[in-house]
A and B are shown apart, each in its own frame.
Chain A
Amino acid sequence: MSVLPATSIYEGTRIPSPCPTILEIDPSRHDLDDILTVNFGPNHPSTHGVLRLIVDLDGEQVAGIRAVIGYLHTGFEKTMEHKTYWKGITYPERIDYLSFQANELVFVLAIEKLLDLEVPPRAQWMRMCLSELNRIHSHLVWLGTSALEIGAISMFWYAFRERDMILDLFEMVTGVRMHSRYFQVGGLAEDIPRGFYEQARAAVKRMPKAVDEYEALLDRNQIWLERTKGIGPLSAADALALGQSGPMLRASGVDWDLRRNTPYLFYDEVDFEVPVYGNGDVYDRYKVHMDEMRQSARIVAQCLDRLEELQGAPWIADDRKVVLPPREELHTSMESLIHHFKIVTEGYLVPEGEVYVAIESARGECGCTLVSDGGPKPWRVKFRAPSLAALQATATCVRDCLIADLVAVAASLDPVMGDVDR
């Protein structure tokens, strides 16, 4: 694949101009009676949170659209500037609350990059394992809710059945179902519990079958096909120009996955395929999600093999200035107690510098820019939200589509409003 051009000035683009995210109706039609302006959201059940779309309708056809966001803005970045790195880890996972492990991972990787810290292989394999389980979890929520919105209600229950199976795994490892704060600078917060491998293997074995079942429900369902095929198309050039990543980009025919193209952790040591579809419509986005769940199950199985080989190996780096000492040492060692106290109260110093780390989260490139002044709190944290980029494509995708399809398209972009608004 050669380098594709990205520009707003090219033939055949569907990106609105001059503002790429606003589809304006023809000014001459503004005052006509047959244009109806509808306010969609922000509290509409089908917007996956609090997304507001202002839609100009010509009959049932979408003639103009603009998105209003910010209803879920919580100021995570500002808050994190006031927390030590150790305490800050709990925040990123609440940003994209479905792909929580990915956000946690990217923040931890950014700190480790500044610290130049070596992470033991076992911790890295476990990070990969949980990241992929989290990807399946996120895709299942996407599948369940998106299908629900175009009327396939039963999909929701099936998808959430398997989702619970994965959340049980998270609960087993981390003690909580979501927002686990399990990734620690230097490795993991705790050792992998007994029984995890067996239960995870059962889940991995179940997953491809479950995905087959979902496809059996949807792929020959005439209503589903008509509601998704050819709806909300996005061309490869438009997808690149609009900064799309992840499933959005792959559904538009761009063969790009950060896990394969710029490997991090041990993604270069596992076998997996990157699903690519060419039409860029809602159906292809659905297919990419389905294939990715199968591939993630494959990766998890390989991670489990490696983890079992590494049984007994360290799961956190041996650097007492950054990593909490083992719990049992606190009762016997004065130094350990001091280190524990210092890390928790004051934090550790992270060398001055600026880094950008990007990983492939369930919705695409999840990036973290971290600036440190050498102190114990970040000077500036900024998350690159894949959902924000995906939502920017709304105006391009819904051009000339029907109001009913707007719901299908908005769902297919897979936006998590926590991630969009931060």
Chain B
Amino acid sequence: MTAGYEATPGLVETRVAHGETTLVVDPARLVEACMHLRDAEGFNQLMDVVAADYLGWGERGVAGYIGTRGGRDIFGPGSQGFRRVPDPKPARFAVDYQLLRVGDDPARVRVQVWLDDGQELETVIGVWPSADWVEREAFDMMGITFHGHPNLVRILMPEDWEGHPLRKDYPIGGEPVRFSGEE
């Protein structure tokens, strides 16, 4: 099934694991790649946009959750730790686009782009309108900016919220709690 995806513009790498195909694409050519996958490969649905933060990935001691008491120390006393240290990631953030081909020949493919903090992505709303809310969610939760999105505002958190909750440096229970008695 991997044959055919080589023509994807900006393709960096093709990975097949657990029966799933991942196409790592150059972020600058994302929209071009998506257009190609939609029109030439028939991926007519974008099911999900998943942003993931890999800050602290594979580090000894605290793997993620900087600033959280206790952290996520999987080398803590009595623990098994990693069997092996996971492979390093090319950048801090990954954004996955889960594509689905609805039709006689169903197929799924994951388009993956890697970004550093502050780097922008182009929106794919023009390719699949369903990208609207999921891109807003990625912005709200991870702080990924989608250039060209007509309404890129917070979707799940309140408008005046600070920080992006699903980032690894955003601690759990660390948000300020305001009490009305303080005023």
Contacts and interface: CB of A to CB of B under 8 A. Distances in A.
Interface in B122-156: 125-130, 132-134, 141, 150-151, 154-156
Give the dominant DSSP class at B's interface.
loop
A402 interface: no
Nearest to A376: B74
A59 interface: no
Which of the listed residues B54, B80, B87, B165 has the most CB atoms from chain A within 10 Å of its own CB? B80
Given A254-B102, A349-B83, A21 B78 contact: no
B45 A6 contact: yes
B74 A375 contact: yes
Contact of A78 (B63, B104, B165): B165
Contacts of A5: 44
Interface residues of A, number: 64
Interface in A70-100: 70, 73, 75, 77-79, 81-82
Given A3-B104, A374-B83, A19 B151 contact: yes
B155 A78 contact: no
A196 B121 CA distance: 53
Given A346-B78, A352-B87, A384-B47, A69 B155 contact: yes
B18 A353 contact: yes
Contacts of A373: 57-58, 63, 82, 86
Interface residues of B, number: 61
B172 interface: yes
A371 B130 CA distance: 23
Given A3-B101, A3-B104, A374-B84, A358 B156 contact: no
B156 A3 contact: no
Interface string B64-102: 110000001010001110111011000000001010111
A281 B101 CA distance: 24
Given A82-B172, A369-B48, A355 B58 contact: no
Contacts of B158: 70
B44 A240 contact: yes
A114 B98 CA distance: 18
A114 B17 CA distance: 10
Given A21-B133, A114-B18, A367-B98, A356 B110 contact: yes
A285 interface: no
A374 to B, nearest CB: 5
Contacts of B83: 349, 351, 374
B157 interface: yes
A226 to B, nearest CB: 31
Contacts of B105: 3
A346 B79 contact: yes
Contacts of B22: 354
A22 B133 CA distance: 11
Contacts of B65: 82
B98 A6 contact: no
A113 B20 CA distance: 11
A164 to B, nearest CB: 33
A123 interface: no
The 6 A-B pairs at the shortest CB distance, nearest first, are namely: A243-B130, A20-B129, A6-B44, A3-B103, A3-B42, A70-B156
Given A379-B64, A422-B156, 4 more contacts: A240-B102, A241-B44, A371-B52, A379-B57
Interface of A: 1-9, 15, 18-22, 69-70, 73, 75, 77-79, 81-82, 113-114, 240-243, 245, 249, 254, 256, 261-262, 346, 349, 351-356, 358, 365, 367, 369, 371, 373-377, 379-380, 382, 384, 388-389, 391-392, 421-422
28 contacts: A3-B42, A3-B103, A3-B105, A19-B150, A20-B129, A20-B130, A20-B132, A70-B157, A73-B156, A113-B18, A240-B102, A243-B45, A245-B47, A249-B102, A262-B108, A352-B87, A354-B96, A356-B48, A356-B50, A356-B96, A358-B108, A369-B96, A373-B82, A375-B63, A379-B54, A384-B98, A391-B133, A392-B133
